[in-house]
Amino acid sequence: MSTFDFPPSIASRPTYGALAPRAGAAQIMLADAEGAEALLAVAQADPELMHRAHVIYIPKHTGERFTDPLRAAAPDILHIAPSYPACTQRLHRVFSAAPMGAQIYLAGTEGLIGQAMALALQIGIPKSAIQTEHRGSVARRVQCVHCKGITEDVMTDPFQCGHCGLNLFVRDHYSRRLAAFQGVCIDAEDPGNVPPSVELYS
């Protein structure tokens, strides 16, 4: 099962729904790994809509598992990308050409959803034109509040900043603009006293 129930949290922490077909001037879908399941669910609910969609998919560790089912759903355009950075220029181009009324569907990991949403908002796409559904890994993208470096795929708390080396605990405070959670030094008041790392949500 690729879904996960996040515990209730504070108001800045993103919450995710379930993608649903929505009428609009264009249909743009982006997913990574198990996020494909959420796109396939939309295709099942409204096959016609999928035939008009521009889909960008990043398989990550899932390999070929979802690419054939996505092809079978017959989107107007299907682009398989090896990574998010590899498709950001394309995504920028597609978002910029989307007329008002376009519907955006983002599915998969928090890091992908967050970064693509930040890009869409930066281009001017309104927030409520964007639907999100979390699937797959619960890893977080975390910004070190001290050195500003962003560490991808953080699975433990606390963790060591990949940039400045400080030991950070991960707050639920989240910046949509940065597409990152906030990491704050855990041993500032007692240097060296760092509790053992535990897996997120454990």
Partner 1 sequence: MTIQFNDETFRDDYTFRNSEWAIRRFPFPFHEDSYMYSVNMERHRGGPEGSVYEKRFDVDEHYISEMRDRAQVLADDPLRCQSLPHMTLAGWDLLELIMVSKSEDYPDLFELHRDGATWRWVNKPLGIDDTFTFMDESSLPYGPMEYITRQTQGDFAVLDQRENNLWMDAGMVTTQADWSLDFDIGMNFFEWHAPVPMAHEMGVFKRALKFLLNVQQGSPARRLNWTMTVNPLLDTSPENYHKWGIQKTMLTPENVGRKQHLRVELQTFFRLPRSNALVFPIRCYLIALEDLVTVPKWGRRLHRVIRDLPEELATYKGFIDNRPMILDYLSQYDDGQTTSPGIWPDLDTEPPLRR
Partner 2 sequence: MSAGLEKLPVIVTAKVKLNDLVTRFEFAHASGKALPPFSGGAHTVVEMQDGAKTRLNPYSLMSDPMDPTQYAISVRRDAAGRGGSVFLHDKVQVGDKLMLGMPVNLFALDLTARKHLMIAGGIGITPFVAQIKQLQTTGGAFELHYSARSQALASYADDLRAAHPKRVNLYLDDQNQQIPLERLLSGQPPGTHVYVCGPRGMIDWVLATAERLGWPPEAVHSEEFLAPQSGKPFTVDLAQTGKTITVGEHESLLEAMEREGVDAPYLCRGGACGQCETRVIAHDGTLQHNDHWLEDDERDGSKIMPCVSRFEGSRLVLDR
Interacting residues toward partner 1 by CB under 8 A: 10-13, 143, 145-146, 148, 166, 171-178, 182, 184-185, 188-191
Closest CA to 140 of 95, 118, 172: 172
Task: Please report whether residue 105 would count as binding partner 2 according to CB under 8 A.
Answer: no
- Beta-bridge partner residues of 97: none
Candidates 18, 20, 45, 100; binder of partner 2 (CB under 8 A) is 100
DSSP class per residue in 131-186? EEEE-S---EEEEETTT--EEEEE-EESEE-TTT--EEEEEEEEETTTTEEEEEES
What type of residue sits at position 143?
A: Q
If binding means CB under 8 A, how many residues of this protein chain bind partner 2? 19
Q: CA-CA distances (angstroms) from residue 8 to 15, 30, 32, 119?
A: 9, 26, 24, 26
Task: Please report whether residue 77 would count as binding partner 2 according to CB under 8 A.
Answer: no
* Binding partner of 100, given partner 1, partner 2, none, CB within 5-8 angstroms per partner class: partner 2
CB of 127 to partner 2, least distance (A): 7
Q: Is the peptide bond before 21 cis (omega within 30 degrees of 0)?
A: no
Candidates 84, 95, 105, 174; binder of partner 2 (CB under 8 A) is 95
* Binding partner of 98, given partner 1, partner 2, none, CB within 5-8 angstroms per partner class: partner 2
Residue numbers at the binding site for partner 2 (CB under 8 A): 22-25, 95-96, 98-103, 123-129
